[in-house]
Chains A and B, each alone.
Chain A
């Protein structure tokens, strides 16, 4: 199943926008800046999502091997399908883990890697070993696959207890992208404006 192209496009646009207003970009020598601009334009013209690359098959094969070797689990096909479409991102405190940099040809570390993050989390939270495959995180949640059932789940960040199950992994990653874009709730905002309802969480609260 495909991820929502609109979210992929908007995230890519956001990343390009962030890059172009960054101190790093502004300080680049002009020729390098032009090269970067050309590459981004070229990728966009090919129908790709610049700065939001998809995982290539060879890197995915290496990741599957490494996961089997180091985590002693097969990499679920549903996760491979996701990484084939989007090889990780970090935005608005939401991270989707991608193929680890050392398993890609370019070896360029551009975000948290799926294998490394699971090694770290299984090390830190022993009860999750071979129970969950972590695929991402945010301020409030860890996003994972329950290995026994294959279900996608958001875990409470502090207690690691399930907070919400998704129908599919794609639905979970779509939700992560939506949170990364900060788009959720716009419709509800509009509704509240009309009805003058209040959201309890908007007040300073205990929950």
Chain B
């Protein structure tokens, strides 16, 4: 976060966009029971968008970084300034994480430090990325899909412990569900099934909650008021789906990743062998992806056949969000400071969302 970004308060437009994002999440799937439909990915749906998978050529790298950083820092601050966003943040990333979000930084808080006498001091952190739900490299056909908008962001855990990626759902989504669809994708628009968590943070909780009362007590201990009922129910369903334990990436995916890793040990530098390995891995990845993706989804350049039935029951929706109006940058960021405590008001009423579950 730039010093400027740290100092400024979120503009009313961003505060409104956060309200819109939370309302959209509530309306996408009003039935909380959908949260546990796929126990391997609780609280996640596949959102079908028509998009062309192209590289964003011609966009300057430094400008992309700067624009995204500015947007993201403001988004984080607006998210924790919103009463519901703040409570959800407290449950997902704790007080330390919220303190970082307030500064416009993604949560990456220290969980342990070690200072042995003969080795340098090191600290271990839990870390998160801000994930684009519809990838930046996809060009959606719908003119209403905005890539750099809070409705397209989720703060996802990316903590890694060596080869153990069980606390890294962000990598899981990319490698299992997104990459197989975009890799070798045709140049024309295709149905792209993007990963849409039903929470602004994933995983949304770090401990189990059996009852709403437990949840409320936890929030009270963090100095936050209770959440609206719809969010309480969602969190309780998520807790139930993850067996009231911290969420971890499905074991079979984790094991296969490790198994793939072991394969490299036996390889030599023969290009033919390496090509064979690549093909084998791509096929394995495609096979795994097909267990989650519906008929019609593209995997490694080929659509899954009409009769295909995924083994895992990830709910599918087709959202068609009405865009909020583009927001003009204020003449001076300093002027926006007075908006810090404005109550959020929605810019637009989100369009009803067609649900295909």
Contacts and interface: CB of A to CB of B under 8 A. Distances in A.
B64 A51 contact: no
A161 interface: yes
Interface in A1-40: 15, 18-19, 21-25, 35-36, 39-40
A198 to B, nearest CB: 5
A139 interface: yes
The residue in A95, A101, A113, A123 that gathers the most chain B C-beta atoms within 10 A of its C-beta is: A123
Contact of B67 (A109, A202, A206): A202
A203 interface: yes
Interface string B157-186: 010111101000001001110110011000
Given A110-B124, A124-B171, A204-B148, A154 B66 contact: no
A72 B267 contact: yes
Contact of A185 (B66, B140, B179): B66
A120 B66 contact: no
A198 B110 contact: no
Given A69-B265, A108-B114, A203-B328, A157 B125 contact: no
Which one of B104, B139, B281, B327 has the highest number of Cβ atoms from chain A below 10 Å of its Cβ? Answer: B281
Contact of B106 (A35, A69, A92, A157): A92
25 contacts: A19-B123, A39-B121, A53-B120, A95-B127, A95-B158, A102-B162, A117-B160, A122-B261, A126-B285, A139-B72, A139-B129, A139-B132, A140-B64, A156-B137, A158-B182, A160-B183, A163-B61, A182-B104, A182-B105, A184-B2, A184-B62, A186-B2, A196-B331, A201-B148, A206-B145
Interface string B59-78: 10111111111111100000
A199 B129 contact: no
B130 A139 contact: yes
B324 interface: yes
Contacts of B121: 36, 39-40, 43, 50-51, 53
Interface string A136-164: 00111000000000000010111111011
A110 B123 contact: yes
B70 A185 contact: yes
Given A119-B264, A139-B131, A186-B2, A201 B277 contact: no
A72 B102 CA distance: 44
A129 B285 CA distance: 14
A54 to B, nearest CB: 8
A197 B343 CA distance: 29
A24 B113 contact: yes
The bracket for how many chain B residues form the interface is: 35 or more
A40 B17 CA distance: 42
A176 to B, nearest CB: 10
A70 interface: yes
A32 B279 CA distance: 52
A94 to B, nearest CB: 9
Interface in A73-112: 90-93, 95, 100-102, 104-106, 108-112
Contacts of A205: 67, 146-149, 326
Interface string B69-113: 111110000000000000000000011100110001110111111
A125 B179 contact: yes
A24 B145 CA distance: 41
B67 A200 contact: yes
- Of B105, B113, B116, the most chain A CB neighbours within 10 A belong to B113
B110 A158 contact: no
A72 B149 CA distance: 42
Nearest to A197: B329
A124 B285 contact: yes
Contact of A202 (B71, B175, B324): B71
A21 B98 CA distance: 12
Interface in B6-36: 6, 17
Given A159-B137, A207-B148, A22 B110 contact: yes
A204 B150 CA distance: 9
A93 B94 CA distance: 17
A206 B147 contact: yes
Given A51-B123, A112-B160, A129 B146 contact: no
A127 interface: yes
> Of residues B110, B112, B116, B268, which shows the largest number of chain A Cβ atoms within 10 Å of its Cβ?
B110
Contacts of A154: 61
B260 A189 contact: no
Contact of A125 (B132, B175, B329): B175
B132 to A, nearest CB: 8
Contacts of B136: 140, 156-158, 207
Most buried by B among A117, A125, A201: A201
Contact of B65 (A18, A109, A140): A140
A201 B66 contact: yes
A197 B149 CA distance: 21
